[in-house]
Amino acid sequence: MTRPAVLCILLNFRTPDMTLRAAEAALADLHSVGGELVIVDNASDDGSFGMIAREVAGRGWAEGGLVRVVASPINGGFGAGNNIGLRMRLSDGRAPDYFYILNSDAFPDAGCIKALVEHLEMHPQAGIACSHVRGEDNQTHTTAFRFPSIAGEFAGSARLSLIDRMLPDAPVPLPQPTTTTKVDWSAGASMMLRGAMLDQIGMFDETYFLYFEETDLCLRAARNGWSCWYVIDSRVVHIGSVSTGMKVTRRMPSYWYDSRRHYFLKNHGRAYAGAALSAHIIGAVLHRLRVGIEGRPPQDPQWFLRDLVTHAATPYRLSPEDRS
């Protein structure tokens, strides 16, 4: 019986040492499934491409097409960079059965990739399988989610236990699963995508620079009958936010607001998007009233509510997909 063909995609942006560490971990695990790896340098413009290419050649990884290093001419974001890999074939010209997307700051445990492949092989209607993610401190990360909704926006911004009890199915973060289970969507730090599904629904929407792109992909998959799974036996260590720098800044970048708005407008329309925004603002005001009474600062990033409202008044640039 022929083994399914797997192509792992690693996206680098100015973290060559970390990317090589992730590549080493991925290759150790890919051996069990006979997969290949492509490293996409997302226009780092800091010498990353040359450094990675030299290291790959020097370590003998390039032999037989096991590892390829390609350069993107522009930094179009997470989705656009990964799409370069998703358009590629294996070194022998075959189309991969599965694409494994791995963050450059994520390191698979032994058996991680194999567990995802085996799950997808056992469940033909499963289009996406994602891993259990933990930090270097061994603490489990919340990576299993519901799709964003009006109720979810309200509950998430209000942060009131009474509202959570009244709307138990609203919060976007799910109670972290302890067994393999279906979820609406999961984080893209370690994500296996079925090639046949991508042939049907397309790749990442490149309108998103960063954030919401995997949510959007999982929603398109669900609307076309494909399920997403959280696979408990597939495990990775994830450092997180190394390329974005989000660990060292308190203010949300403008592209987060762009992505959030595009997600709601594209997938639910203007009326729904407006209601979701209003729900978020009302919830945020309730949160600020509560913490103000308690003498505590809001739990949102700095200037978050002001930036959200200000951004809502800026023009929305339609993507090519929206114009069609």
CA atoms within 13 A of residue 315's CA, in its CB half-sphere: 3
Predicted local distance difference test score (pLDDT) of residue 318: 54
Tokens 């499963």 label which residue?
Answer: 126
Q: What does pTM read for this prediction?
A: 0.94
The whole-number pLDDT of residue 106 equals 97
**Secondary structure, 3-state, 22-87:** HHHHHHHHHCCCCCEEEEEECCCCCCHHHHHHHHHHHCCCCHHHCEEEEECCCCCCHHHHHHHHHC
Task: Quote the pLDDT of residue 244.
Answer: 41
- Residue pair 151/279 in contact by the 8 Å Cβ criterion: yes
Spatial distance between the Cα atoms of 234 and 111, rounded to a whole number of angstroms:
7
Q: What is the model's pLDDT at position 205? A: 98
From first to last of its 324 residues, what are the pLDDT tens digits of the chain? Answer: 678 999 999 999 999 999 999 999 999 999 989 999 999 999 999 999 999 999 999 999 999 999 999 999 999 999 999 999 999 999 999 999 999 999 999 999 999 999 999 999 999 999 999 999 999 999 999 999 999 999 999 999 999 999 999 999 999 999 999 999 999 999 999 999 999 999 999 999 999 999 999 999 999 999 999 999 999 999 999 997 544 444 434 799 999 999 999 999 999 999 999 999 999 999 999 999 999 999 999 999 999 999 999 999 998 865 544 433
Q: In angstroms, rounded to a whole number, what is the distance separating the alpha carbons of residues 24 and 56?
A: 10
Bridge partners of residue 31, in order along the sequence:
none
pLDDT for the residue numbered 322: 45
| Beta carbons of 104 and 12 less than 8 angstroms apart | yes
